[in-house]
Structure 1
Amino acid sequence: MSSLCGMNAQTVSDSIMRVEAEAFRRGLPEGLQSSQKDAILRAIEGDCEALERVRHGRNSKPPLREGVVTRDLSPTMRLYGPEGVGGALPLLIYFHGGGWTIGSINSCARFCQEVAASGKARVLAVDYRLAPESPYPAGLEDCREAVGFAFGNAAEIGADSDRVFVGGDSSGGNLALATALSGDECCRRLAGVVCFYPVTKAYPDGSASWGDYGSGYGLDADLMEAFNSAYIGHLKGDVAGDVNVGDLSDEALEHLPRTLLVAAGRDILCNQGREFATRVGAQRLTRVEFPQAVHLFITVGGQPEAFRRAVELTVGFIEGE
């Protein structure tokens, strides 16, 4: 305990994140991301058998947390809420990560439950169509439709239509940003965006973080490039702005609502997220970096301090803090 004397809470939190991230990195199965990359590349060529096995392995439904109730509104939408809390609450519509190719409403369930357990919000998790079978813009269209559903059924699902947010991690963060910037009438009503280590440029960005953390930090560069190929490879380089949101014009970015961006400091996507935040500006975008964390702390266990802080920041942002 004496070693913690004089350290502030943030320093202690960063130290814990460093220890947990290093243990997480050591526990990553050797060759896992390479095998996932190969499965995706085979699926792009039409053989989805290996990719389906990867998806199945990421689709375990965790036990329901005490104090939280769920309702499956459809096969692709699950509503989380605090037990015993009625009336209209803020709603976070959440899009899971997984490089647009893997993941499900089950893979983000732990995060959704914790936000709902705060008693401050409901969470609507969305299963969108996955690439390469359903490449861009299929998944994004599903996300935008989910926003329309939420506004159209706000009273039924206990949502305050003046406080509807979208959020997501990694590729899900990309979908959240793209949805908020889409210009759809309902999407223009969004109160804000919450995104964790989002993809803002779906190509190798050549940044220092891309080079420094391209292997062994939760998201390898080769795997990210396979994700990009699965999602937008069919476009042959003619990629729309609602994929590479980091390359949108300043005028387009002016339409982004209030945003919270939480970054992992040791992540290939760190620099592109920092650049995006700088372009949007601090008046509309709050960027919080966990300097010692690595990718995946939202959907994959092993970095509990980063996960805890992410939930805390999300709830505070939704409450307007």
Structure 2
Amino acid sequence: MTEVSATISSPPRKTRADAGRPGRRDRRRRSPYPNWFYLPAAVVYAVLFLVPTLLSFYFSLTRWTIFSSEFIGLDNFAQFFSEPALTKGFINTFVYAVVTSGAKVVLGMALGILLTSQIVGRGYLRSVVFFPVLVSTVGVGITFQVLMNPQKGVINHALSVFGVDQIGWLTNPSLALFSVALVDIWKGVGLATVIYMAGIVSIPNEYREAAKVDGAGAWSTFRNIILPLSWPATSTVVTLSLIGGLRSFDLIWAMTKGGPGFTSDVIASVIYKQYQAGFYGLSTAGNVILFIAVTAIVIPLTRFLSKKEVEM
């Protein structure tokens, strides 16, 4: 009996033929093929992102044309921050991003709660809210440029019925940037609403029923259940809206081209104008500044939102 148990418990001996033959697990571990699967994606990423980014950092330190370049150090960056028009575009970028992203978060959550409740025509209203997201940004900009015309625009004609004088939505230096921001909010709030709807629908119904049994009202249910449990949706909307606001160009260019003057310029439109004027090194420095600004804001913000999500 002892010999049988010893035979069963002892591991099988490796023969000389098995010694030179690796096991199946070892072959799988040493196989080079899975690592090679990363190569196509790595090549595409390097060609389309890493190489252009490194070249941009270099050419931002030069005065260059298509055929030649001259190394000038940090002169382009010094010039960028010394000219008021360029600095104005830098400030406008952050104002525009904060206004649009903040409004999308608030309106997106409000519409998300409304469109997940039991209201009449809920499916139709969802389509209406999301429709602007599907429309071309340039088309939206041209359309609202006509609607906001001070003399012939439909918006001013409608406001004149209530005794409101003609408003220079896109011609008043103090209103132009915020007018474009309103259009951006109108166009982008549909996506924020859909994200919030997905987050609210994923909340288990037992929480609401328990709150109702405890006598919690609508505000208490929102503050203690919907707001904390939909935090992943809030995190996503904040990140996407802020990145989109910092990189915004097409809507601003279609509606105002940065005008009147430089009052509605953002970094992207400043970069485009410098390219048009032939200041390639200065415009490349603007690209680098935009890249650094977006990275410096988005990475800490994403970590903060993720940490809050875990705490909640």
- TM bucket normalised to smaller: under 0.3
TM-score by length of 1: 0.24
Give 1 or 2 for the bigger CA radius of gyration. 2
- Relative contact order higher in (CA < 8 Å, ≥ 6 apart): 2
